[in-house]
Amino acid sequence: MEVLKVVYRAGFTNPWHTHNCAHGIYVLDGTLTTHQGDYPAGSFVWFPEGGTMTHGAGDDGDCTFLFITNKPFDIQYVAE
């Protein structure tokens, strides 16, 4: 398990990718923008292991969050 504090700067989106670990994102400040919708501060979003996803911060401000995994972190970007 890992817990990381991360900041996405306004307008940044992590492109389509997968993880071999399930993970949750607890939004501390700002709004997390994902392929599933937008989540304000105080939200907890769970992403199942192996799913394909995007997430980032909207254009209106930074997003600070805790990134919590059930296994060591990894990332594989999906070719376009």
Convert the pLDDT of each residue in 15-42 to its tens digit: 999 999 999 999 999 999 999 999 999 9
- Strand-pairing partners, residue 47, are 23
This prediction has a pTM of 0.90
Domain that holds residue 66: 2-70
Short-list 56, 50, 54, 52, CA closest to 69: 50
In a domain, 8, yes or no: yes
In a domain, 77, yes or no: no
User: Is residue 56 a part of any domain in this protein?
Assistant: yes
Which residues, listed in sequence order, are joined to residue 52 by a DSSP beta bridge? Answer: 18
**Is 78 a domain residue?**
no
Asked whether the predicted pLDDT for residue 64 surpasses 70, the reply is yes
